[in-house]
Amino acid sequence: MSYDFDLFVIGAGSGGIATARRAAQYGAKVGIVESDRLGGTCVNRGCVPKKLMVYASHFPAAFEESAGYGWTVGESSFDWEKMIVAVNNEVDRLNGIYGRMLDNSEVKLYRGHGKFVDSHTIEIGDQKVTAEKILIAVGGKPVKPDEIPGVEHAITSREIFHVKEQPKRIVIIGGGYIGVEFACILNGLGTEVTMVIRRDKILNGFDDDLRSEIQEAMEKHGIRIITCKPKISIAKKDHGLEITIPGNDGREEIIVADAASLAATGREPNLANLGLENTKVEVVNGAVAVDEYNQTAEEHIYAVGDCTDKINLTPVAINEGRAFADTHFGGQSRQMSYENIPTAVFSTPEAATVGLTEAEAREKYGDAVKVYRSKFRPMYYTLPDKQEKTLMKLIVDTSTNKVVGAHMVGDSAAEIIQGVAIAVKMGATKADFDATVGIHPSSAEEFVTMR
């Protein structure tokens, strides 16, 4: 049978675009459809605009710290609207770049909502296209939990980038990395931040030392963190939003916040109105079910990225997509490895990690685990006389002497762990770390001097 395309991609986020371009480079005829902006969550309402806001939030502390080095900084002020405009202008620029990349790769872009009519046919508005292979790369979306009364009055991480006025007071619901990052951003920019979490600590799933260190620092910086296991509720009033927080002792507290209170309670695959019922594709626990080659139950339909709900990181989606293109169009059969994927939390202080947490390592290796920790004040903070701390941690399986986990909280954690991740991925031993000469004076040298 003859098809319009060798490959058709539903979703032009980071994973979809990377797949389409790689397949086209191998000579495949490729089409792609997107109903929203090119680049997906990361470029438009995730990693990129968020990181720019992180940078903005660090300037007040930098102004203060500069005095310790002899600088006199005059009166400063912050213009929220100017920042938001600048951030979104950069997003617009990146959208243009993605469009040009698709054009240069000769990938045909369709604007609209793509939906399966049958397993080889995609409907886009009033037209239909067919493809021999189809890739689902529709990403995820933020979730507002229905069990919270009044949650419709809260915004999510999607809308925060378009709030026209800076919130003076905000309540952030959720203690995952998105909630933590925005709590730190807004606190740094001068907003009064209250964070409501269900567990005793933020960042469930991360190493416990890392979680404790960040939470302690956040509270020291003025973020109020409340643990609340009963249901909270939100009510819209003339003076703002009233968030009712039931105490574990039965008493209630009402916090008044601006209309921009943020629900950061997780994300889910964006599978609505995709027409999967017209295919054999299976959905398990709300995500597209795939095998180790990202193949669905329909042999010519594949899926990558957040819609499969494996590891929801942009570089993972890109790597999954490129592995698919290499395998099916480049003659290089390979699959994505999910071991030792580094990740970062752009909180203040920043955190980054690769490999196993201490708890995971002890479960896997038992008494063979040895942990090396170092906590210190970096040189930068000595002259400003600030008590900011850096934590570094190596987890070693003593039966092989391999470093199976590395964790850091502190300035430039992501930049440092990216390099450490190469060593961990290659199976470096503690002896390899010890034999590496440190760069002095630097915080990073602590990873090769821990005893």
Residue 409, helix vs strand vs coil: strand
The answer to whether the Cα torsion of 397, 403, 404, 408 is positive or negative is positive
Please give the radius of gyration of the chain, using alpha carbons only, rounded to the nearest integer: 24
CA distance 263 to 9: 31
CA distance 341 to 316: 8
- Kindly provide the residue ranges of all beta strands, DSSP E only, lying in 147-232, ordered along the sequence: 169-173, 192-197, 224-227
Neighbours of 63 (CB within 10 A): 13
Given a contact cutoff of 8 angstroms between Cβ atoms, the answer to whether 404 and 396 are in contact is: yes
Active-site pick, 113, 328, 407, 440 = 440
Q: Find, among 236, 227, 238, 230, the residue nearest to 261 by Cα.
A: 236
The answer to whether the Cα torsion of 193, 199, 201, 205 is positive or negative is negative
Assigned token pair, 136: 């689902």
Identity of residue 103: D
User: Is 162 assigned a catalytic role?
Assistant: no
CA distance 409 to 413: 6
C-alpha count within 13 angstroms, C-beta hemisphere, residue 285: 6
Task: Give how far Cα 436 sits from Cα of 263, 342, 376, 424, Å.
Answer: 44, 21, 21, 14
CA dihedral 311, 361, 265, 259 (to 10 degrees): -110
Assigned token pair, 64: 């203060």
Neighbours of 351 (CB within 10 A): 28
* 390-397 sheet: strands from edge to edge: 343-345, 351-355, 402-409, 390-397, 369-376
Greatest distance between any 2 Cα atoms in the chain: 75
The answer to whether the Cα torsion of 73, 77, 83, 86 is positive or negative is negative
CA distance 73 to 335: 53
Assigned token pair, 226: 């409340």
Identity of residue 142: P
Q: Find, among 145, 164, 160, 149, the residue nearest to 262 by Cα.
A: 160
Active site residues: 440
